Amino acid sequence: MVGMAATASKLLSVQTDILCIHVAISIWLDDHTHWSINQRGHNRLHTVQRIIVHRRLLMDRYRVIEQLAKQHSWTHGLELGVWLGVTTFWLMKHTDLDMTCVDAWEPQPDNPEYAWQYESIPPDSRATQFTPWDHAANELHFRSGAREWGDRITIIKGRAMNISDQIEDHSLDFVFHDGDHSHPYVYYEIERFRDKLKPGGFHIGDDHNWDTVRKSVQSAFGPGNYSITGKDVWYKQI
């Protein structure tokens, strides 16, 4: 059994490497942008670097959600903050979940957590793009990939706090929080979606190493009253 577990772990690592490389190459080759060649190259390189650096964090995320889904026989989850769909597509391949996926795919110039990105963009480009991400291209990438999974994926475009009334109360096994990471936004998001969970449902999130995320989660549940696994994944059963 130990040998089988080790083999499975190595296989998961290889699969995650392949997935990260695939996403990185897709971003680099994509040509949907308003920026100059130099600006586009700089920001794509930044995004590729983020994917590679966070490879192991992605693996932690996959393991937690996949294991909980199988342990509790989950059928329906909500992901708040989809980006390119890396987490979504992994869950499609490795679980029987149906997913509702929410993302605004738009700049957030009012969000202090992304101010460093705003300052890095030349002033004459800030009116059309402000993060390193080409939002239109990212949305297209996700929607194209989602078609493979048919009605197992439901897409809602918008910010989480604005679309909660589109989610039926007590309909979800879990909510995965991976959108706006500012405080107290994450706290308000947790509170807004509490009633969307079935009894015994889970709130899950990543980037617990971010001060803003940690403050919001602790405000919602109290310090020490939720679980942390891997390097940055947190979860709480309701």
Give the CATH number for residue 70.
Answer: 3.40.50.150
Range of the domain at 179: 2-237
Q: Is the peptide bond before 184 cis (omega within 30 degrees of 0)?
A: yes
Predicted local distance difference test score (pLDDT) of residue 33? 33
Condensed to tens digits (0 to 9), the pLDDT of residues 145-190 reads 999 999 999 999 999 999 999 999 999 999 999 998 889 999 999 9
Mean pLDDT, residues 136-140: 88
* 34 — pLDDT class (breaks 50, 70, 90): very low
Q: Which residues of 178-198 are buried (b: 16+ CB within 10 A; e: fewer)?
A: bbbbbbebbbbbbebbeebbb
- Which two structure tokens, joined as six digits, stand for 89? 């597509």
Q: What is the pTM of this model?
A: 0.73
Out of 63-72, 106-115, 130-139, the most confident range is 63-72
- Strands 172-177 and 153-157 turn out to be unpaired
The overall average pLDDT reported for the chain is 77
Indicate the number of domains in the chain.
Answer: 1
Alpha-carbon distance of 103 to 83, in angstroms, equals 7
Burial category of 79 from C-beta neighbours within 10 Å (exposed 0-12, middle 13-18, buried 19 and up): buried
* 228 — pLDDT class (breaks 50, 70, 90): very high
